[in-house]
A and B are shown apart, each in its own frame.
Chain A
């Protein structure tokens, strides 16, 4: 009891300042969301290039075939490639 009394006295001596309002919560949320958006934007920009060049790309094969048929593109066999080995095939990452 004695301790509780001391605590109450201290609380009176140093009254608790009530500073947390809903509007401040909204402000803090706004700051946090803004920081998050800026952070995502910066990291997306910086990592854009490094995310590319990671193997292969899904392409519109039907469009490629169509344009080969019309003569806009060619199906000339390329130099400098080989059928992928079993080890290499394991590197192929599925793409959506």
Chain B
């Protein structure tokens, strides 16, 4: 029996022959670890960039989004569990799309960016890497929506090809990570710092779940950490929880709880704090932190109005707004 040790994520699974890693899709066949979903996505969609959510990165553009089965987290509230909590051999729908075909399809559809998303792109790393390399050569952007549960070396190698990442910070509490996601907090914090250090445009999402991670003191600690380690200009998306998968016993997050959390994060010094999954909420939009001018008005994932100047400044006070605008 030739067991192998995976080095990709902090789980460091030791996998005997015929077994899979915790992610279900990295399988030891014949003593070699196989990326079984390489070039075999189970989800392909064209989304608005705002759905990732990336609000300071090419707003209002379309992004060609792909995902394969598998995930290295097991969130009780996963919204894509039909995809993420299954192995490739369990999927009914599998597309055959090798990296060159993905890039070709994205260009044909008029998308200037690719997104590796829905499940967690960490687990289909090789597919992401090869596709990103071709996309970069072809002038497309590579964006990444991840839980950030990845080891530093593979992440640094990938960062050279990434343009933007929305990374989940699910709670600022290791106990929450262990109970609700099956992961741990510190590697995620390390990944966030690495993404920032490597110059990848970074936005952070925190799904606010009633009673589990909506404590205002914890929100403040998280926002303070972000301010100090990632910078006050890092956008934070506070998203509304909807009961699903194995967490149907809690109600959706009340809008007032999200408002309170947003105030707390703004008070802690973050300049761009958004509220997600509440279409029509005023905090879907971007405001100038200096004079409060409405810069980008959004309704849900739709950009209704964009008043930023061509070089990404507030038209009223000329304040430079951080982001990648064109």
Residues in chain A within 8 A of chain B (CB atoms) = 45-61, 63-68, 71-85, 88-89, 91-92, 95
Could you list 12 examples of A-B contacts with CB < 8 Å?
Answer: A56-B19, A58-B19, A64-B36, A64-B89, A72-B40, A74-B37, A79-B125, A81-B33, A82-B4, A83-B5, A84-B2, A84-B5
Question: Is B263 interfacial (CB-CB < 8 Å)?
Answer: no
Tell me whether A52 and B22 are in contact in the complex, defined as CB-CB below 8 angstroms, given that A72-B40, A77-B34, A89-B14 are known contacts: yes
- Residues of B within 8 Å of A53, CB to CB, are 11, 22, 72-74, 182-183
A54 and chain B: residue at smallest CB distance: B22
Given contacts A59-B19, A91-B14, contact A81 B6 (CB under 8 A): yes
Q: 5 additional contacts, CB 8 Å, given A53-B74, A67-B89, A74-B34?
A: A59-B19, A78-B8, A78-B33, A84-B15, A88-B5
Contact between B7 and A83, CB atoms less than 8 A apart: no
CB of B27 within 8 A of chain A?
yes
Q: Give the contacting residue for B4; candidates A50, A66, A81; CB below 8 A.
A: A81
Pairwise interchain contact B246-A45, C-beta atoms closer than 8 A: yes
Contact residues on B (Cβ < 8 Å of other chain), bracket: 35 or more
Given the complex of chains A and B, what is the CA–CA distance between A73 and B74 in angstroms?
22
The answer, yes or no, to whether B180 is at the interface (CB within 8 Å) is yes
- A77 and B33 form a contact (CB under 8 A): yes
The verdict on A76 contacting B96 (CB below 8 Å), with A56-B16, A64-B89, A84-B14 known, is: no
Residues on the A chain within 8 Å of B5, using CB: 81-85, 88
Most buried by B among A52, A65, A81, A91: A81
A residues near B154, Cβ cutoff 8 Å: 79-80
Q: Which residue of A lies closest to B10 (CB)?
A: A53
In contact, A52 and B89 (Cβ under 8 angstroms):
no
Question: How long is the Cα–Cα vector from A52 to B7 in the complex, in angstroms?
Answer: 18
Asked if B222 is an interface residue, CB under 8 A from chain A, the answer is no
B7–A82 touching, CB < 8 Å: yes
Select B3's contact among A58, A76, A77, A88, beta carbons within 8 Å: A88
Given contacts A48-B76, A71-B96, A92-B16, contact A64 B4 (CB under 8 A): no
A80 touches B7 (CB 8 A): yes
Chain B: which residue is nearest A90 at the CB level?
A: B14
Let me know if A92 and B125 touch, CB within 8 A. no
